[in-house]
Amino acid sequence: MSDAQAVLDKLMARGAAFLGTRYAIMGGAMSWVSERHLVAALSNAGAFGVIACGAMEPPRLAQEITGTQALTDKPFGVNLITMHPMLDQLVDVCLAAKVGHIVFAGGIPPGSAIKKAKEGGAKVVCFAPALVLAKRLIRSGADALVIEGSEAGGHIGPVSLNVLAQEILPHIADVPVFVAGGIGRGEAILSYLEMGAAGVQLGTRFVCATECIAHPAFKQAFIRGAARDAMPTVQLDEAFPVIPVRALQNAGTKRFLEFQAETIRRFKAGEVEKDAAQLDIEHYWAGALRRAVIDGDVENGSLMAGQSVGMVTKEQPASEIIAELVGQAVAAVAARRCDAA
């Protein structure tokens, strides 16, 4: 092992020990994308795959966990959305299957869910969008945190990872903190590890893994996409809030703006109640991610992608992507040591 590799291993040691993996690299949980094949491929490559439960009901999640266990004997986690109406039952499914790590996303998880997961033997990972919430989650029992910047794909917060890392990393030592959002190369991984991160989480970079079941047209959209193409959804009227989602722009995105304008016009004309209008806007994208990922409708579906999409240039095995990221980080360590000599 080279000196540079040893330095990187030392920086990753806490995160890797927490995950039980060779590398402190988590796969971001992407609905319809992070299923058994990609999750197992990442874990087999020395990273940490995470199943995206999304809207799955307990029996479906149980199948996905069993399917993943058939493809890897390495550790992997399950990402649960805190607003899921069957959250408790989903936690039970994870515990029954001996899943070692449960990742709660999409809001602050109820204390009861954290308690149940921990008492059942799982480690709990939570998303912390601000320092005050990070401290609160640790008090609630979180074993590790993920801080995700607005560069990420899918549902995003308003603050970049660059700022979040500076705000949170110097002040949290109790638990490992993983950083996410816009990370596409090993040099960036190294920089965040040096700032105090225990590890990283990447999603967009793995969409074009050979093992990923996403439709070829979906993958091609990522390969063609540039950072500036991955934009958050635009809200036309603050009276009708739109949860920001970062995705590649397409015909569906343009139509969403037109749909908002028409729905707001109907409300103002007295043709529709406010609640119904808000619901119409919220339901516009229903099923759109599946249409893009599974059916390959990249014009009308939702192409959720982070700004690191510009660094996705080809389809390649997950093991090759991990090796590339680690190789870039090791090369950066070696270059710094040469400069210092």
DSSP secondary structure string, 231-279? EEPPPS-TTS----EEEE--HHHHHHHHHHHHHHHHHHTTSS-HHHHHH
Residue 296, class by beta-carbon neighbours within 10 Å (0-12 exposed, 13-18 middle, 19+ buried)? middle
What is the per-residue pLDDT for 286? 84
Amino acid at 203: G
Work out the mean pLDDT of the chain and round it to a whole number. 96
What is the per-residue pLDDT for 102? 98
For the segment 280-290, the average pLDDT, to the nearest whole number, is 91
What is the per-residue pLDDT for 219? 98
pLDDT band, very low/low/confident/very high, at 336 (cuts 50, 70, 90): confident
Co-location of 268 and 331 in the same domain: no
Q: Mind listing the pLDDT tens digit for each residue in 49-98?
A: 999 999 999 999 999 999 999 999 999 999 999 999 999 999 999 999 99
Co-location of 198 and 55 in the same domain: yes
Strand ranges, E, within the chain: 25-27, 49-52, 76-81, 101-105, 123-127, 144-148, 154-155, 177-180, 199-202, 230-232, 245-248, 303-304
How does DSSP classify residue 296?
-
What is the per-residue pLDDT for 37? 98
Co-location of 162 and 257 in the same domain: no
CA separation for the pair 159, 149 (Å, rounded) = 6
For the segment 260-283, the average pLDDT, to the nearest whole number, is 94
221 located within any domain: no
Co-location of 191 and 238 in the same domain: no
What is the per-residue pLDDT for 168? 98
For the segment 133-148, the average pLDDT, to the nearest whole number, is 98
The enclosing domain of 151 has a CATH number of: 3.20.20.70
Co-location of 12 and 71 in the same domain: yes
Co-location of 10 and 125 in the same domain: yes
Contacts with 307 (C-beta within 8 Å, 6 or more apart), sequence order = 151, 182, 227, 230, 246
Instruction: Indicate whether 330 pLDDT > 80.
Output: yes
Give the closest residue to 255 by CA, choosing from 230, 284, 229, 228: 284
For the segment 150-165, the average pLDDT, to the nearest whole number, is 96
Give pairs for 258-266: CB < 8 Å, separation 24+. Answer: 259/284, 260/235, 260/236, 261/236, 264/236, 264/237, 264/240
Co-location of 14 and 34 in the same domain: yes
What is the per-residue pLDDT for 337? 74
For the segment 256-278, the average pLDDT, to the nearest whole number, is 95
Contacts with 116 (C-beta within 8 Å, 6 or more apart), sequence order = 88, 91, 92, 95
CB 33 within 8 A of CB 46: no
pLDDT band, very low/low/confident/very high, at 341 (cuts 50, 70, 90): low
Residue range(s) defining the domain that contains residue 108: 3-214+311-335
| Structural domain count, the chain | 2
| CA dist list (Å): 141 to 118, 138, 148, 320, 332 | 8, 5, 19, 36, 36
How does DSSP classify residue 85?
T
220 located within any domain: no
Region of poorest pLDDT, from 245-249, 258-262, 311-315, 334-338 = 334-338
Co-location of 269 and 136 in the same domain: no
Co-location of 300 and 191 in the same domain: no
For the segment 240-249, the average pLDDT, to the nearest whole number, is 94
CA separation for the pair 288, 295 (Å, rounded) = 10
What is the per-residue pLDDT for 248? 97
Give the closest residue to 204 by CA, choosing from 78, 307, 97: 307
Co-location of 39 and 80 in the same domain: yes
What is the per-residue pLDDT for 258? 95
Amino acid at 308: S
Co-location of 36 and 88 in the same domain: yes
The label of the residue with tokens 């040691």 reads 13
What is the per-residue pLDDT for 159? 97
170 located within any domain: yes
What is the per-residue pLDDT for 339? 73
CB 156 within 8 A of CB 150: yes
Q: Mind listing the pLDDT tens digit for each residue in 115-137?
A: 999 999 999 999 999 999 999 99
For the segment 25-31, the average pLDDT, to the nearest whole number, is 97
Tokens of 316: 């390649």
Give percent of the chain with pLDDT exceeding 70: 99
